[in-house]
Amino acid sequence: MNWMKFPKRYLIVILTFVSTCVCYIERVGFSIAYTVAADAAGINQSSKGTILSTFYYGYACSQVPGGWAAQKIGGRKVLLLSFVLWSSTCFLVPLDPYRVTSLVVTRLLVGVAQGFIFPSIHTVLAQWVPPHERSRSVSLTTSGMYLGAAMAMLVLPSLVKFKGPQSVFLTEAALGVMWSLLWFEYATEPPRSEHQKATAAGFGESLLPNKASQKIKVENGVSTVRTSKIPWKRILVSMPVWAIVVNNFTFHYALYVLMNWLPTYFELGLQLSLQEMGSSKMMPYFNMFIFSNIGGVLADHLITKRIMSVTKTRKFLNTVGFIVASLALMALPIFRTSGGAIFCSSVALGFLALGRAGFAVNHMDIAPRYAGIVMGVSNTAGTLAGIIGVDMTGKLLETAKAEYSDLSSPESWRAVFFIPGLLCIFSSFIFLLFSTGERIFD
């Protein structure tokens, strides 16, 4: 009986949280397994960067189509299809560093499939979650990424050591299939709210802008029907949307560079073994999990208690998160011990996660009806950051290796961490100038 009283929207949020957790186990898992296999085969850093960034080409291609598909046929169905596709593809990944074409094709396919996930999640949450719960719901859902990354950093190096790199992909595929079964069993279409204020904020509405989704307006007892259309032009020229886009780019540039190259930094930059580092190596991502949820709860508290407006809350948390993260990123190569590097990377990623309570929830503030579309647009920028950042980092390290003979000196890594640090400062000012917490798309 208690289970029957458990609000369905909470179950939906928990399942989306688990989905992001599983996705990031896959992404970090590939980085760990491929790094071990590539280093054993003597693959250079530039070539590693190219393979690691291939995922993001596919991911970028499906962001906006993912938002459109979620609006058109429903986020619930698209999310399920995405999981089935990437889980199936994981079974086919041939972890042979010399089979470059096969690796590129499978990573592209996984990227395309996973590109549908976050636009679908934002569409689902915009339908299920009322406005006063959105900050903490989105923060909890996205914090699954960081918990997944932490779990991957803790468990997968040992799995690679004892069972081999290929075992990582079989494990990831099995997790994806299990989540798909849970989502198929328990996820349903959202309720239609009868509360006028909730409906005005987009809660409980059908967000599908097709012929079946029409607005009905009653004037003087006469009903008129108007077909809803996606305001593409207004979205693409909106400065508040671009403020989100710029910050999404910076957030993911920093995250993807650290996620893909932190194992290399520990092993080649600091001469540490991931297996011997124990649980400490998961702390940067676990810190993201903690700070993401702190940011969500704090944002909802500031808004519901009327301490700050929605606009000021978003700007405050975004600015604090990005500025502190920038300082930690630029300080990271100075610390030459395991503890110092873990501390700096934990602060950087933790405060970046705090900043997500600013820009990452802002989609649903300004455009709850088109949250999946706006998320698709901004996440495309975030994915381009992965392509640029991960690949360029490999080239920076290859250049540094030629100049300094190896990658153990702090000078070899300074540019790697200074670039995202400076981007954080720039992005925080853009968000301060152009963002808003008001609804601007009906």
* Residue 311 pLDDT exceeds 90: yes
152 within domain boundaries: yes
Q: Residue 218, SS3?
A: strand
Q: Last residue of a domain, which of 189, 219, 242?
A: 189
- In the prediction, which pLDDT does 193 show? 52
- Residue 246, token pair as written in the block: 């710029």
**Per-range mean pLDDT, top range of 118-127, 160-169, 193-202, 248-257:** 248-257
Share of the chain above pLDDT 70, in %: 90
Bridge partners of residue 218, in order along the sequence: 223
Q: Note whether 180 and 247 are same-domain residues.
A: no
Q: Note whether 89 and 165 are same-domain residues.
A: yes
Q: Note whether 60 and 137 are same-domain residues.
A: yes
- In the prediction, which pLDDT does 199 show? 43
12 within domain boundaries: yes
219 within domain boundaries: no
Q: What is the pLDDT of residues 143-162, one digit of tens each?
A: 898 899 889 988 888 898 88
- In angstroms, the CA 436 to CA 375 distance is 16
Q: Residue 197, SS3?
A: helix
* Residue 203 pLDDT exceeds 50: no
- In the prediction, which pLDDT does 298 show? 93
What mean pLDDT is predicted for residues 48-64?
A: 85
Q: Note whether 333 and 430 are same-domain residues.
A: yes
- In the prediction, which pLDDT does 322 show? 97
Q: Which of 59-73, 303-317, 346-360 has the lowest mean pLDDT?
A: 59-73
- Residue 70, token pair as written in the block: 């979620």
| pLDDT-derived band at 194, boundaries 50, 70, 90 | very low
Which comes out higher in pLDDT, residue 288 or 428?
A: 428
Backbone angles phi, psi at 219, to 5 degrees: -130, 120
Neighbours of 30 (CB within 10 A): 27
Q: Residue 120, SS3?
A: helix
What mean pLDDT is predicted for residues 331-340?
A: 88
Q: Note whether 160 and 252 are same-domain residues.
A: no
- In angstroms, the CA 98 to CA 381 distance is 31
Q: Note whether 181 and 108 are same-domain residues.
A: yes
Q: Note whether 259 and 388 are same-domain residues.
A: yes
Q: What is the pLDDT of residues 61-92, one digit of tens each?
A: 888 888 888 888 888 999 999 999 999 888 87
- In the prediction, which pLDDT does 1 show? 44
The boundaries of the domain holding residue 3 are 1-189
Neighbours of 163 (CB within 10 A): 12
Q: What is the pLDDT of residues 214-243, one digit of tens each?
A: 444 444 444 444 446 878 888 889 999 999
224 within domain boundaries: no
Residues 64 and 380 sit within 8 Å (Cβ to Cβ): yes
* Residue 374 pLDDT exceeds 70: yes
| Helical (H) or strand (E) element with 214 | strand 214-219
Return contacts of 159-163, CB within 8 angstroms, 24+ apart. Answer: 160/32, 160/33, 160/36, 161/275
204 within domain boundaries: no
- Assign residue 330 the CATH number of its domain: 1.20.1250.20
Residues 416 and 221 sit within 8 Å (Cβ to Cβ): no
Contacts of residue 135, Cβ cutoff 8 Å, sequence gap at least 6: 295, 296, 297, 299, 300, 303, 357, 361
- In the prediction, which pLDDT does 327 show? 97
| pLDDT-derived band at 97, boundaries 50, 70, 90 | confident
- In angstroms, the CA 213 to CA 205 distance is 10
- In the prediction, which pLDDT does 384 show? 87
Return contacts of 306-310, CB within 8 angstroms, 24+ apart. Answer: 309/437, 310/365, 310/437, 310/438
* Residue 6 pLDDT exceeds 50: yes
Q: Is the pTM of this model over 0.85?
A: no
Bridge partners of residue 343, in order along the sequence: none
Q: Note whether 25 and 104 are same-domain residues.
A: yes
* Residue 412 pLDDT exceeds 70: yes
Number of domains in the chain: 2
Q: Last residue of a domain, which of 157, 189, 221?
A: 189
| pLDDT-derived band at 191, boundaries 50, 70, 90 | low
